[in-house]
Amino acid sequence: MDPLFDVLFSFWVGLGVVLLVVLRASIKLVPQNQAYVIERFGKYRGTLTAGLNFIFPLIDRIAYKQSLKEQAFDVPSQSAITKDNIGLTVDGVLYLKVLDAYKCSYGVEDYVFAVTQLAQTTMRSEIGKIDLDKTFEERDALNTAIVSSINLAAEPWGAQVLRYEIKDIIPPQSVQQAMERQMKAEREKRAAILESEGERQAAINVAEGQKQSKVLAAEADRMEQILQAQGEAKAIEMVADAKATALRTIGEAAATEKGQKAVQLDLASGAIEAKRAIAKDSTVVLMDGKSSDAGQVVAEAIAIVSAMNKSEAFSSTGTSDSGRRDA
């Protein structure tokens, strides 16, 4: 019994180990963003995606493991000739992604190498269509054209180029020196233009300031003259009003009896002062005896006033005086 038991135990243990090995070989865990291409007896059977998958051991095998992530590949430097026959050295970066694991595995031997070579030839072709200056100015358009051409040719390979970026464009040394001289001349020209524009603007500002100053000065003079004329007119008006008021007051006072006497007295005083002035200024004064008498002078002044009262200008006054005399 013991030898038989040992044989059975060894058999079952061996069978269990074989089953475990077979089960382990049949279970395949595929990582995220990975794809496994399975072949059965050398023929394509299917593609395993991310997660838990089962295959038949011994008859199925993993032929290819493809990454579905976006990958970046350096495109080696290469020479290219522009449309205006200038030699350039260009390198870039290629961003590539696998869309179909089956095509990438069976459509081309090495899709990375194939796409890289295609990128180089396409880049040379696109650079040959444009001039040197545009290679620096139109990098985005150049990158877009290269991506479009590569994707059109790489479609049977199951890969897609997402982006192509030109890292550096190196022209010949002589061209670099010429470009540096050109840029220096351009900068000097811009500096001269900016300097002249600054001087012109400064001159304009100075002239504008002088113009404004003169305008303001003329405006100030005009306002001063206007104010002065207004002041003089106001003064004349006030003097005229004062004289008119004085004459009105004198006229109203002269219309009375007392006013007449005051006028007669004032005229007499004026006559006396006039003769006194003549006597003072002249060394010889010829006067008759009557004229030299003060009483006679006053009488003459009164006679003059009486004559004025009898005139038409003083008719009202004369009428009132005659009325008073008749009374």
What is the pLDDT at residue 304? Answer: 61
Contact predicate 119/83, CB 8 Å: no
Contact 93, 164 (CB under 8 A): yes
For residue range 194-230, list pLDDT tens digits in order.
888 888 899 898 888 888 888 888 888 888 888 888 8
Pick 193 or 258 by higher pLDDT: 193
Given a cut of 50, whether residue 187 has pLDDT beyond it is: yes
pLDDT > 70 fraction of the chain, expressed in percent and rounded: 76
Largest CA distance in the chain: 205
Query: How confident is the model over 112-161, as pLDDT tens digits?
Result: 899 998 888 888 888 888 888 788 778 888 888 889 888 888 888 888 88
Check: CB of residue 112 under 8 Å from CB of residue 65: no
Q: What is the DSSP letter of 157?
A: G
Residue 28 confidence (pLDDT): 85
Place of tokens 């005051």: 262
Separation of alpha carbons 235 and 213, rounded Å: 32
User: From the CB of residue 111, how many other CB atoms can be counted at a distance below 10 Å?
Assistant: 19
Residue 320 pLDDT > 50: no
pLDDT digits (tens, 9 = 90+) for 44-63: 888 888 888 888 888 888 88
At residue 154, the pLDDT reads 85
Residue 238 predicted with pLDDT over 50: yes
Q: What angle, 0 to 180 degrees and rounded to 10, lies between the N-to-C axes of helices 257-281 and 315-326?
A: 110
Q: What is the predicted pLDDT for the residue at 124?
A: 87
Which pLDDT score is estimated for 153?
A: 84
Q: Which amino acid is at 49?
A: T
Domain boundaries, the chain: 20-66, 71-171, 173-254, 255-326
Domain at 71-171: CATH code = 3.30.479.30
- Could you give the CA distance from residue 83 to residue 138 in angstroms, rounded to a whole number? 14
pLDDT at 20: 79
